[in-house]
A and B are shown apart, each in its own frame.
Chain A
């Protein structure tokens, strides 16, 4: 399929607030993104013109923000609303090999929905992980460096060389990836064996480092994970914010080249154009 035919559903509800830049990232690369309200998929309060079906799209993006204020728990309300009405559509979507991307709040939503880490199957009934409050106890808006540790499974990072360090900034209060204590080691082992760990927070020398390079205290410095097929990907940092070089936090020191986040969108569009 040509990239210009790839239809991307950028899904939003009240409080989703990174939809515009997520939409633009795909548009700039020639794909066909559309900002879609969850109610357009569920059919509530919409006209026939406005109604959409998830199966019309080739890719689903859950952008960052504070969906429903992140009250209850980050991403919990969006996830519950989605899961109660669209469970089957979501499972079919993932089974068809169509990619799903969750950035920041989107990652939190994917975890709350059970689409990540999805240790057994496509979608777990209850969340198997949580993105907890940062160790600092504060919202942290700061540049973060991510080393790609994925060995090739994740379709969102195929254009990033292994071990490359990318500057992809973070902005969240709840980004500490954690697993249930009693199952933690087993889940981690499986994640590594399945090549589901994608990005880790590192310092400028590429070492796994503590705060502030790891802004939240995530287990093993993990910033992003994918499902077993590598088609569902969630990460806390914001690749859409560094699509261009000139939005890198230190770009005036080295102004040439493209933004580090661009490769994430290029990778998945490459996958879509070849496999869908």
Chain B
């Protein structure tokens, strides 16, 4: 079928089409939606038809495209908003300065920090290098447009196994190793060139990510409070100045591509949806934007991300209670011949929209000229809440903002997934010794040393990374829990940044899994001496039109919100990424949590590597038989539905004990207990410190030996106490501290009644260090 007869091309020297929706049958309407590439549903198309019928005319292709962007899942959160509102919005909003493209929180009396995380999954699955690079570019702009100087990047990544057999690879899907190489390189080349340290992140491997890898990107920024701007115009008369890169055909339909499942045709059909990144345009854009803003020349600004101009113009104008008129002819182009709808929805990179008072326009243009960055006035703000577009003198678009931005909201059906909850419990056989198991866990791709990746990212540029992602004695690196930045020259106050996710737990029990993710990010922050202050989340799930996927989403969000609310830690920004599915199925439900914490004095921070022979080791927090989703059960192909829950009182108390102990100088090293349990935690601490330890686990409760070693119960930390300072540790009966043993020797010896592990630290290190170097 063709809907050709419904399109009538206007007699203009450029492509402009009126679409006769009023005379279209329902099948024809769906054909129009399909041909436009917008993915609008029949119901949504009917709303558009009725709206234009009331106006007495047909929509233009520019208008239909624009509505398609604005109403996409990616832009209007139509399937998720109802749950986000119920569970995560509105937590401790008094502490939040602004929630725009990035959330803004108070850092100290004079400074604020901005944070945001989002996904760039589908572009990276099709074009890993460019997809990941432009993901970084986009998240930097989200922070920049709040008026903040970006200071750090965060990159959590999720892949299929690196040694996945090529024979089993579904059609049209790229091998995990290829994706991994391209994505790491894309992040490296963009982040390093633009001069921002990549300080935190993570890599997870699971077969569910083979068909649809996940690339999440986060950014943190800092600003003087007086320089913080809203993503809004000041009022009528403001000039809209488009700055940064030129507009081209790259990145057309990015948001609609992100709002559909991947297919084997995605490579062919959607490559053009991936933008091309240019860090050496972005770097001067950052300088020029901040300089113009600090001089007080900018009233408000917003980045051009998903939907390009079509989203930014309406949103920045409406946020100031206004509308706008834009002349698309003025937009600087990469090539001649773009149709107005292409200019309007292109997602070409490195672009920002500044709203500027007329008297300041020349000064703004001068700042950008010095940095050789294009800056062009393209429109003006008008009092009516409408957007009108002109191209070569022809009006091509005239829409009420309230209609354009009032995307549909759905309360789609949810139903309990046929999840692993009903799977039969299967427990591993008890063993006399667990040396081999520990070595295998350390070599597990989900646990092993990430130095292969981390050392390719500059994590020290800007010279304010106080606690780095790799920690330990020179030449003996292990992982830390959180990075700490010292963002203000005159102050020792620190900003800690940590990333957490546990898709395995969420896959078995999304509610407890969601809670676990928040617990983990909090204990990561506490482990360096920071108190959690704000969170931002990137929620990667499957197709929300399938009730079991949406149920996972709802339960996970509920869990996340519950713990955040109990801790009174706000979530001032976030991102939802649905449709992470390929024909092979959905990815594990994957909420990524990025947490920021405040450190009172960075000189008090601690790292995870063991420091001194003879120091006491202790465990804070209670250990239970929580083996569900544990690395040990996954490795032994066993199963338990008992995913760790979070005892909020114990979490709160535990954090105070740990942070208090660090601030009082009693704790000299600390590591949270997560994947692989106490055994892996201790091993990592030994590897970083290049020392051994003698540990007795008999006092942590009545448990099987493997649970003592490998349980992943939440809210736990292992601490090393400074000799003579043990008594300075805060005490709280809700977060008991149990003495485990002492630091020293050349091997990690763990017993509980009898010896369970006795392995040389060198051997542990070898297992831990070799995996990625071998697989890549």
Contacts and interface: CB of A to CB of B under 8 A. Distances in A.
A64 B462 CA distance: 10
B489 A24 contact: yes
Given A141-B459, A171-B192, A252-B669, 15 more contacts: A15-B280, A15-B284, A17-B195, A20-B463, A37-B370, A66-B193, A68-B280, A140-B455, A141-B457, A249-B470, A250-B473, A252-B605, A252-B607, A252-B609, A253-B473
A238 B369 contact: no
Contacts of B459: 141
B280 A18 contact: no
Nearest to B284: A14
A252 B606 CA distance: 6
B229 to A, nearest CB: 21
A143 B471 CA distance: 11
Contact of B602 (A21, A39, A70, A246): A246
Contacts of B475: 204
Residue from A37, A70, A142, A249 having most chain B Cβ neighbours under 10 A: A249
Contact of A249 (B468, B602, B669): B468
Contact of B461 (A68, A171, A250, A251): A171
A171 B369 CA distance: 31
B18 interface: no
Interface in B468-497: 468, 470-475, 486, 489
A65 to B, nearest CB: 6
Nearest to B607: A252
B10 interface: no
B538 to A, nearest CB: 25
Interface string B444-475: 00000000001111111111111110111111
Contacts of A71: 280
A17 B194 contact: yes
30 contacts: A14-B371, A17-B195, A17-B461, A18-B463, A21-B464, A45-B370, A64-B461, A65-B195, A66-B280, A68-B280, A69-B279, A69-B280, A70-B193, A71-B280, A141-B458, A141-B459, A169-B460, A171-B192, A171-B458, A171-B460, A238-B463, A241-B460, A241-B463, A243-B463, A247-B460, A247-B465, A247-B466, A249-B468, A252-B605, A252-B609
B372 interface: yes
Interface of A: 14-15, 17-18, 20-21, 24, 37, 39, 45-47, 50, 64-66, 68-71, 138-143, 145, 167, 169, 171, 204, 238, 240-241, 243, 246-247, 249-253, 255
Residue from B462, B463, B602 having most chain A Cβ neighbours under 10 A: B463
Interface in B606-647: 606-607, 609, 611
B471 to A, nearest CB: 8
B727 interface: no
A243 B192 CA distance: 21
Contacts of B716: none
B603 A255 contact: yes
B283 interface: yes
B366 interface: yes
A22 to B, nearest CB: 9
B281 to A, nearest CB: 8
B188 interface: yes
Interface string B216-236: 000000000000000000000
The 6 closest A-B pairs by CB, nearest first: A17-B195, A21-B463, A69-B280, A14-B284, A66-B193, A241-B463
B664 to A, nearest CB: 15
A74 to B, nearest CB: 11
A139 B187 CA distance: 12
Contact of B472 (A66, A240, A250): A250
Contacts of A24: 463, 489
Given A139-B192, A145-B474, A238-B460, A14 B280 contact: yes
A204 B472 CA distance: 14
B247 to A, nearest CB: 20
Contacts of A20: 462-463
Nearest to A35: B287
A85 B50 CA distance: 64
A250 B668 CA distance: 13
A252 B372 CA distance: 43
B593 to A, nearest CB: 25
A17 B463 contact: no
A271 B702 CA distance: 68
B474 A250 contact: yes
Given A139-B192, A249-B468, A15 B462 contact: no
A138 B195 contact: no
Contacts of A251: 466
Contacts of B465: 247
Given A65-B195, A250-B474, A21 B462 contact: yes
A159 B734 CA distance: 54
